[in-house]
Amino acid sequence: MEKIIIDAGHGGSDPGTVYNGRLEKNDNLRLALAVGNILSDHGVDVSYTRTTDVYHSPYEKAMIGNNSNADLFISIHRNAAQKPNTGTGIETLVYADKGIAGQLARNVNRELETTGFQNRGVIERPELTVLNRTVMPAILIEAGFLNNDSDNQRFDANLNQIAKAIADGILATLGSEPSKPEKIYRVQVGAYKNKDYANRLADRLKSDGFSAFVAYRDGYYRVQAGAFTNLDNAVNMERQLRRAGYDTFITS
Least distance from C-beta 93 to Zn ion, angstroms? Answer: 10
222 binds Zn ion (CB under 5 A): no
Q: Which is nearer to Zn ion, 143 or 241 (CB)?
A: 143
87 binds Zn ion (CB under 5 A): no
Closest residue to bound Zn ion by CB: 77
Annotated catalytic residue, options 113, 142, 177, 238: 142
Residue 142 annotated among the catalytic residues of the structure: yes
Q: Which is nearer to Zn ion, 79 or 188 (CB)?
A: 79
Q: For residue 160, which of 33, 19, 22, 70 has the smallest C-alpha distance?
A: 33
Q: Which is nearer to Zn ion, 16 or 102 (CB)?
A: 16
Least distance from C-beta 91 to Zn ion, angstroms? Answer: 12
Binding mask 182-221 for Zn ion (x = CB under 5 A): ----------------------------------------
- Strand locations in 21-99 (E): 22-23, 45-48, 72-79, 90-94
154 binds Zn ion (CB under 5 A): no
Q: Which is nearer to Zn ion, 58 or 190 (CB)?
A: 58
Report the 3 state secondary structure along the chain.
CCEEEEEECCECCECCCEECCEEHHHHHHHHHHHHHHHHHHCCCEEEECCCCCCCCCHHHHHHHHHHCCCCEEEEEEEECCCCCCCCCCEEEEECCCCHHHHHHHHHHHHHHHCCCCCEEEEEECCCCHHHHCCCCCEEEEEEEECCCHHHHHHHHHCHHHHHHHHHHHHHHHHHHCCCCCCCCEEEEEEEECCHHHHHHHHHHHHHCCCCCEEEEECCEEEEEEEEECCHHHHHHHHHHHHHCCCCCEEEC
Q: Which is nearer to Zn ion, 19 or 213 (CB)?
A: 19
- Which one-letter DSSP state was computed for residue 14? B
Least distance from C-beta 141 to Zn ion, angstroms? Answer: 10
9 binds Zn ion (CB under 5 A): yes
Contact pick of 25, 50, 77, 106 for Zn ion (by CB under 5 A): 77
Which range in 72-80, 99-107, 179-187, 223-231 contacts Zn ion by CB under 5 A?
72-80
Least distance from C-beta 17 to Zn ion, angstroms? Answer: 6
Rounded Cα distance between 61 and 48, Å, is 9
Least distance from C-beta 16 to Zn ion, angstroms? Answer: 4
Q: Which is nearer to Zn ion, 18 or 157 (CB)?
A: 18
Question: Which residues inside 92-111 make contact with Zn ion, applying CB under 5 A?
Answer: none
Angle at 249 between CA 245 and CA 252, to 5 degrees: 150
16 binds Zn ion (CB under 5 A): yes
Site residues (CB under 5 A) for Zn ion? 9, 16, 77
Q: Which residues are known to be catalytic?
A: 142
